[in-house]
Amino acid sequence: VSTAITMKGTRSEKDQEAPALSQAELKKQSMQEVRRSLPIFPYREDLLAAIHEHQILVIEGETGSGKTTQIPQYLLEDGYTKGGMKIGCTQPRRVAAMSVAARVAEEMSVKLGNEVGYSIRFEDCTSERTVLKYMTDGMLLREFLTEPDLASYSVIIIDEAHERTLHTDILFGLIKDIARFRPDLKVLVASATLDTERFSCFFDDAPVFRIPGRRFPVDIFYTKAPEADYLEACVVSVLQIHVTQSPGDILVFLTGQEEIEACCELLQERCRRLGSKIAELLVLPIYANLPSDMQAKIFNPTPPGARKVVVATNIAETSLTIDGIIYVIDPGFCKQKSYNARTGMESLIVTPCSRASANQRAGRAGRVAAGKCFRLYTAWAFKHEMEETTVPEIQRTNLGNVVLLLKSINDLIHFDFMDPPPHETLVLALEQLYALGALNHLGELTKLGRRMAELPVDPMLSKMILASEYKCSEEVLTIAAMLSVNNSIFYRPKDKVVHADNARMNFVVPGGDHLVLLNVYTQAITAGYFYHTARLSKGGYKTVKHQQTVYVHPNSSLFEEQPRWLIYHELVFTTKEFMRQVIEIESSWLLEVAPHYYKSKELEDSSSKKMPRKQGKTKEELG
Ligand code: ADP
Ligand code: MG
């Protein structure tokens, strides 16, 4: 206790001295010092010379070396934004784009949105004056629609290239293509220390510029036996480190919001119970949907005497760097998308992360001093149960959106993929776009398809919006907006499940989830989503086209009702194949909006014994 008091005393004395120099000046000075202390700084001139000499350069450097925050500033200082030309820097994650732009604006003492800005889907924080533009890879992809040669950019930085997100992979192909007829455009491919040879190879043997890391040794500890409950194991490990280990902050890797919230709650509760027996432990979550003021908190310096624990998704693996981390706890899992092109089922499953990921995670412990990484799995599992690297997203996702975009920008057939997607996935995407009327029978983009491509949403959603014209656009736009929110608009904290469920029930209206989202009833949804239909069959549902067995999600307002025909927004696999956001329809509507796609035979009902009344009606409607 006495140390804590002394420390506090010293701190407040310092604080009182400070106002002699203006606070802003002081802050600016120390920021410039931090900039000069980053590993990239000694290489500033060499890097600029290499960029001057080569059109395409691959830049490899340890996470935290200063690639994302410094390179755009160096380029600006070197004159690359003369005449209002922009420097674009892509990020796979929204949070990273926002947070890095905010940091750079601060370093340059400008207001975010002026000279430095960011652009993410549904949020544009840029202006006429913006010359350093951070954006998600998906946003740059959309800029190709309005500016196919990216004429307003002097430099494009494809950052976090090693993440190999779908959009980053598509950007590789498009940018390689335009670089040929825009010799003045500089292309920088920045990556953590992974895969850089492959990038170089893809970009016609572009040189690799390596920024030597400043990395301290990290001791790695494995568990002797597998952990039955890794969440509980994380909580116990954090408390053990807190009580037994020397100062230094802790970083815990979990797979998503729910787990992170649960972990934070458990930690807070146990700390409360231990009371003043232990030093202060600041528990801070970070995940994509966390409000940005809460996100910013993870960067605040830890007060003396206390310890910080940041509980993060793999956003903290390479996209964000938190100073002061000495201990990493890695349960070895991540949430991964996978896609089955035969059934159209996209699933989000918690799976073991790759060895490359595990090594990146461990590396987070050695940035400021020697660190420790506690792996909550066995050394055997690391060797035998983990994949070497993560499969690129392009090989495990639905491509409807991207194929439509590529159709309107470029030639799909000759597209230069770094790793091509599976053939079936492409075929299914084309088939779906044809069914929606975005492509004609020759596979050419239709007028409707071109308009659909302009909307930054899935093809089914854009068709739904366009089909609503003059009738119910406003309602449909509201529904579309609600459906575009990640996960769900209904927040369901662990300790208030009953409250949350009651609150949700208050919104329920008959008809289905889309109507709960709005309270309106219309057929336009059918026009866009006729592709996603399912019919009631023994205990569950069967999708009409693929005869896949699926279930209504328990959170759905139609969970009890189980209507005969329905349309779903998406299929997700968690514990079962669940349809999320479902709405009841009449089978006859399908023939009306998609006669080219459904044959009346497919829509005939076979379950007559169960529902004789409806059976008659359906026949009538089918005429
Ligand atoms: P890289 O892109 O090479 O991983 P960054 O440019 O993102 O590195 O980060 C360089 C350094 O800038 C980090 O080590 C950290 O000290 C600092 N930094 C970055 N973002 C922030 C932030 N939002 N708040 C405080 N410091 C930050
Ligand atoms: Mg970075």
ipTM of the complex: 0.98
* Percent of residues, the chain, with pLDDT higher than 90: 47
**Ligand 1 atom nearest 65 alpha carbon:** 3
- Residue linked to tokens 């080219």: 596
Six token digits for residue 449: 């398809």
Query: For residue 55, is pLDDT > 90?
Result: yes
Higher pLDDT: 438 or 590? It is 438
Higher pLDDT: 474 or 521? It is 474
Q: Confidence class of residue 261 from pLDDT cuts 50, 70 and 90?
A: very high
The pLDDT score that the predictor gives to residue 520 is 40
* Binding site membership of 557 for ligand 1 (Cβ less than 6 Å): no
Higher pLDDT: 313 or 289? It is 313
455-506 confidence digits (pLDDT tens) = 877 787 777 777 766 565 566 666 666 566 554 544 555 566 666 566 555 5
* Binding site membership of 61 for ligand 1 (Cβ less than 6 Å): yes
217-238 confidence digits (pLDDT tens) = 999 999 999 988 999 999 999 9
Q: Confidence class of residue 508 from pLDDT cuts 50, 70 and 90?
A: low
The pLDDT score that the predictor gives to residue 613 is 33
137-186 confidence digits (pLDDT tens) = 999 999 998 999 999 999 999 999 999 999 999 999 999 999 999 999 99
Nearest to 221 by CA among 42, 38, 347, 362: 362
Neighbours of 290 (CB within 10 A): 20
* Percent of residues, the chain, with pLDDT higher than 70: 80
The pLDDT score that the predictor gives to residue 484 is 61
The pLDDT score that the predictor gives to residue 6 is 28
Q: Any idea how long the chain is?
A: 623
* Binding site membership of 73 for ligand 1 (Cβ less than 6 Å): no
pTM (two decimals): 0.78
86-102 confidence digits (pLDDT tens) = 999 999 998 899 999 99
* Binding site membership of 323 for ligand 1 (Cβ less than 6 Å): yes
Mean pLDDT confidence for 360-382? 94
The pLDDT score that the predictor gives to residue 493 is 55
Give the closest ligand to the alpha carbon of residue 101. Answer: 1
Of 110-124, 428-442, 585-599, the one with minimum mean pLDDT is: 585-599
Higher pLDDT: 11 or 33? It is 33
Higher pLDDT: 194 or 335? It is 335
The pLDDT score that the predictor gives to residue 16 is 44
The pLDDT score that the predictor gives to residue 176 is 95
Q: Confidence class of residue 19 from pLDDT cuts 50, 70 and 90?
A: low
Q: Whose CA is nearest to atom 14 of ligand 1?
A: 64
Of 55-59, 185-189, 534-538, 602-606, the one with minimum mean pLDDT is: 602-606
Beta carbons of 429 and 345 less than 8 angstroms apart: no
Q: Is 89 helix (H, G, I), strand (E, B) or coil?
A: strand
Q: Confidence class of residue 1 from pLDDT cuts 50, 70 and 90?
A: very low
* Structural Rg of the chain based on CA atoms: 27
Neighbours of 434 (CB within 10 A): 18
For residue 191, report the distance from its CA to the centre of ligand 2, in Å. Answer: 8
Arithmetic mean of pLDDT over the chain: 82
Beta carbons of 329 and 234 less than 8 angstroms apart: yes
Secondary structure (H, E, C), 300-334: CCCCCCCEEEEEECCHHHHCCCCCCEEEEEECCEE
Beta carbons of 62 and 215 less than 8 angstroms apart: yes
For residue 505, report the distance from its CA to the centre of ligand 2, in Å. Answer: 43
